[in-house]
Structure 1
Amino acid sequence: MIEQERMNCMKCRHYYVTWDPGAPRGCRAFGFKSQAMPSQVVLASSGKPCLNFEAKDKG
């Protein structure tokens, strides 16, 4: 995987932490929860990096 394809979900406004111990990470843009980081799930299932990444507001 090239470095440009890696997304840091924790810096994305769509990322959230869930209460589900089996799927503690979620993505509001795609509407799913998973055990892995959402960007890894998107890359594995589509073969493309996440196109919904939006940086969090710094304010």
Structure 2
Amino acid sequence: MTEPQRLNCMKCRHYYVTWDPGAPRGCRAFGFKSQAMPSQLVLASSGKPCMNFEAKGKE
């Protein structure tokens, strides 16, 4: 079995930094904040890599 592809949340358009010191990282697509990177939390919870990843682009 191969290791799932690691996604870099900092390159995703849904990732944001919060003002909450207990949960400094957030995901707008899933609507949660956490201490860990959102993609790691999604992988640990579902066993699958994040399906909402969208690369940031020049808009």
Query: Same-fold call, TM > 0.5?
Result: yes
Show structure 1 runs of 5+ residues with no match.
none
Residues 1-31 of structure 1: per-residue CA shift (max 9 Å, x gap): 72x5200000000000000000000000000
Percent identity reads: 84
Gapped runs of 5+ residues in structure 2?
A: none
- What TM-score, normalized to structure 1? 0.91
**Any idea what the Cα deviations from partners look like across 1:13-58, whole Å, max 9, x if unmatched?**
0000000000000000000000000000000000000000000013
Q: Tell me which protein shows more helix as a share of its residues.
A: 1
Q: Give the aligned partner of residue 45 of structure 2.
A: 45
Q: Following superposition of structure 1 onto structure 2, how do residues 1-59 of structure 1 map, counting pairs within 5 Å?
A: 2=3, 5-59=5-59
> How large is the Cα RMSD of the aligned pairs?
1.3
The aligned length equals 58
Superposition misfits of 4+ residues, deviation over 3 angstroms: none
Measure the CA separation in 2 of the matches of 1:18 and 1:51. Answer: 22
